[in-house]
Amino acid sequence: MRLRSICARTSRRLWRVSEYRMKDYTGEIVSNKQIAPDAFEMTVGVKDMPEVRPGQFAMLEVPRKDCVLRRPFGILSRDENSVSFLYRVKGNGTIALSELEAGDGIRLTMPLGNGFPTEKRSKVAIVGGGFGIVPLYLLAKEYRGAEVRIYNGFVNASAVMLEREFGKCGKFTLCTDDGSRGFHGYPVAALEKDMDEGFAPEVIFCCGPTPLMKSVKALAARRGVKAYLSLEQRMGCGVGACLTCTCKVAGHNKRVCKDGPVFDSAEVFE
C-alpha cells in the first residue's frame, strides 16, 4: 500500500525508531465480543506490535464514512501480535466498531500519550471507575510483586468487568455504587477505609469519572500521598496537533492526548 510505504520510508530515513513512538497501523480483528450490557472487548492482530506503557491509548478508525474522527480507546493489554481494547458502546461510532467481525481490517494509531509513571514502588493503590479500569490493568500487572491494592467501582453488579483479571494482580476490592456486590460505595471510600486501617500507599493511580478523580485528588491531598489521574477529554487528532483536548494543568493548557493523559493530581481540577 502506497501510504504505508511512504510512511515507512520516511520514518526510516529521518527518525530513529523508538519502541514507544506512535505509528499508524493496519490491523485485523481477531475477536470482538460483548462482555457486559454495553461493553465490548476487541482484539486486533497487528504485525510489528509496538511496546506499550500502562495508560497509553490508541485511536481507532470507525468503519463508517460519516464518522470522520477516530475514537480514543485505552489499551487493555498487548502481546507480540495483538492489542486489546475494552470499550463502551455508546454512539454511532462505537456501535459500528462493535459490528466488526474477525478478519475485518481496521486502522489504528498507537501507542499514544505518556501513560502512567511507573517508578519502582513497594505499595501502590489503584482506583478505577467504570470503563476507567481499562488502562489500569496493564498498570496493575506492571506492579506485580509490589503490594498492590486495587479498588474498582461500578454502578451495580451487572456492570462489573474484569474482576478475575484484576483479582490476579493484587488485593482486589470490588465496589458497587448500589451495594449490589462488594463494597457498598465509591472505590475511593474503600481505599480511605483501608488507609484508616493502616494501608500506606506511596502512590495512588486513578482513572474513572471526573467526580471519582476529584475525590482521589482530595484524598491524596489530605493524606499527603502522590496521586496520578488519567484524564478523559473529547479528542480530535489524538497526536497533539489540533489542540481540542486541552485541559488546565497547573494553570496552563496541556494536551490530554500528547502531554497526558496522566497528570499529577495536584496540578489538575484546580
Partner 1 sequence: MNTEVNICGINFKNPIIAASGTYGFGREYGEFYDPSVLGGISSKGLTLNPRVGNDGVRIAETPSGILNCVGLQNPGVEAFIANELPYMRGLDTVAIANAAGSTLSDYERICERLSETDVDMIEMNISCPNVKRGGMSFGVLPESVEEVTRAAKKHCKKPLIVKLTPNVSNIADNARAAENGGADAVSLINTLTGMAVDLYTRKPVLGNVTGGLSGPCIKPIALRMVREVYKAVSIPIIGLGGITTARDALEFMLCGATAVQIGTVNICDPCAAPRIVGELTEEMKKCGVESLTELIGALDD
Which residues sit at the interface with partner 1, rule CB under 8 A?
2-4, 6-7, 10-11, 13-15, 21-24, 61, 65-70, 93, 107, 109, 234-246, 253, 258
Contact at 8 Å (CB) between 261 and 117?
Answer: no
Contact at 8 Å (CB) between 60 and 108?
Answer: yes
Query: Toward partner 1, which CB reaches closer, 31 or 246?
Result: 246
Report the DSSP beta bridge partners of residue 242. none
| Closest distance to partner 1 from the beta carbon of 62 (Å) | 9
Query: Toward partner 1, which CB reaches closer, 22 or 125?
Result: 22
Query: Toward partner 1, which CB reaches closer, 3 or 102?
Result: 3
Query: Toward partner 1, which CB reaches closer, 64 or 184?
Result: 64
| Closest distance to partner 1 from the beta carbon of 15 (Å) | 7
Alpha carbon distance 128, 213 (integer Å):
9
Contact at 8 Å (CB) between 56 and 15?
Answer: no
Query: Toward partner 1, which CB reaches closer, 19 or 197?
Result: 19
Residues 6+ apart with CB under 8 A from 122: 146, 147, 202
| Closest distance to partner 1 from the beta carbon of 228 (Å) | 24
| Closest distance to partner 1 from the beta carbon of 245 (Å) | 8
| Closest distance to partner 1 from the beta carbon of 3 (Å) | 4
Return the exposure string of 32-59: e unless at least 16 CB atoms fall within 10 Å of the residue's CB, then b.
beeebeebbbbbbbbeebbebbbbbbbb
| Closest distance to partner 1 from the beta carbon of 269 (Å) | 14
- Of 117, 121, 188, which is closest to residue 150 (Cα–Cα)? 188
- Of 228, 261, 211, which is closest to residue 59 (Cα–Cα)? 261
- CB neighbours of residue 17 within 10 Å: 12
Query: Toward partner 1, which CB reaches closer, 29 or 69?
Result: 69
